[in-house]
Amino acid sequence: MKPLSLLLFVCLFNAAFDDDTQPPTAISYFTNVRTVSIAQTDKQNYFVVDPEIWIHSRPDLGDLRLYDGSSPVQYSISEQLAGVLSEQAQAKLLNLGSVSGHTEFDLEINNLPEYDRIHLNLNAKDFIVTASVSGANALAGSTPTNLPSTTLYDFTHEQLGSNSVLKLPPSNFRYLHVKLTSGIRPEQVKGASIYNLREKQALWTEVSSCGAPQEKPRLTVIVCDIPEKVPVNRLEFQVPPDRINFLRNVRVEDTKGMQLASGEISRVRINRPGGTITDERLKLDLNSRSGRLTLTIDNADNAPLEITAARPLSLERRIYFEPQGKAELHLYYGDEKLSSPVYDYARFFHADASAAEAQLSAGAHNAQYTGRPDARPWSERHTGTLWSAMVLAVLVLAVVAIRGMRAEGSR
């Protein structure tokens, strides 16, 4: 039984030292450090995540830690996204008809207390009209309020896009009267939706620059070298203002030739009897961390589009925190094994509109860095000892077995 006891001891010893728990957080586990200079010590502060942080931290930023000396400081990460559509409702279409050759109708709004957009469902192509709008709280007996007019258009034939949205100042009229200039017949108006859109512009950080455009047959190619691990969420093209009435297909590929995004860039400036159309779309959204990007603009049979610059942009991420009277904190990062923090501050976070922007020093190697202790299981760290014990146990068992057989034979 002794050999079996020895083998059992080895297994138990191995299990006792196989610990999968993660070592605690420590300043000495972070590779990089930066000083955070507080702008105002008595109010909420924030700083912007820059390429230096992206390069040396985890992709999810889960290994960022703020310290006041040796004491951790809670924070919240906030993406500076654009505003989104908050509410939408169908408007009731009333009194649709033709007046002196113009299409006119009323819209009844019952489901939204406030709105600032009207989307018309128009069954029409290749048109340009002006929509005049007035608002009132009764269909009759009240003086209507004139609201800004909007030019609506569809350039399907020219492949230059369309617009069927009327933009209004924030309004709460129960009834809207819409009058269209000639070009849309009453039967082509199929309905209308009312929106309340809270517009908040997204904030962007320029993360790199792109090379000069290279002209090829029917194509313009631009190469952008992005620092590794830095996210690119948008590409912005700059075209001289005198270049108008163009539409180009754009394709974005990574270093392996895999397509990451595609879309169109355009600028429309057309004078027509119904009004002047001005529309510009020179931005392309994507989601990439691939490093080098290759942008290919398809000019078709047109002259090459003059592009003066292409700018890779990353959606701005801010780290918000409360300095609690401190003039300086330290930001540590660069620990691949550290799990993301779970802070009450982040759960109940609210960004202060007057938050002050703190300043980051240049990135530096953490002088206290030692790295994490070897967290591998005991069996992986002492494979030689484990195998020696197992071989010894097998040999002992073999000797015992041979002796037993000899004893049986001598009887």
Same domain, 311 and 330: no
**The pLDDT of residue 274:** 64
The residues, ordered by sequence, that sit 6+ positions from 239 with a Cβ below 8 Å of its Cβ are 246, 265, 267, 282, 305, 306, 307, 308
Same domain, 172 and 265: no
Same domain, 175 and 89: yes
Same domain, 250 and 297: yes
The residue among 197, 220, 252 that closes a domain is: 197
**The pLDDT of residue 375:** 63
Q: Could you give the number of structural domains in the chain?
A: 4
Residue with tokens 């047109």: 302
Q: Which residues of the chain have pLDDT under 50?
A: 1, 3-20, 22
Same domain, 182 and 89: yes
- 106: in domain: yes
**The pLDDT of residue 9:** 46
Same domain, 55 and 113: no
- 370: in domain: no
The residues, ordered by sequence, that sit 6+ positions from 8 with a Cβ below 8 Å of its Cβ are none
- 403: in domain: no
- 238: in domain: yes
- 32: in domain: yes
**The pLDDT of residue 379:** 60
- 409: in domain: no
Q: Which domain holds residue 304?
A: 204-315
| CATH number of the domain that residue 222 is part of | 2.60.120.260
- 51: in domain: yes
Same domain, 308 and 220: yes
- 320: in domain: no
The residue among 197, 232, 252 that closes a domain is: 197
Same domain, 31 and 9: no
**The pLDDT of residue 409:** 66
Task: Return the bridge partners of 72, or none.
Answer: 67
Same domain, 101 and 174: yes
Same domain, 190 and 137: yes
**The pLDDT of residue 393:** 73
The residue among 295, 315, 335 that closes a domain is: 315
**The pLDDT of residue 383:** 72
**The pLDDT of residue 17:** 46
The tally of CA atoms less than 13 A away on the side-chain side of residue 111 is 11
pTM above 0.75, yes or no: no
Same domain, 96 and 159: yes
Same domain, 185 and 147: yes
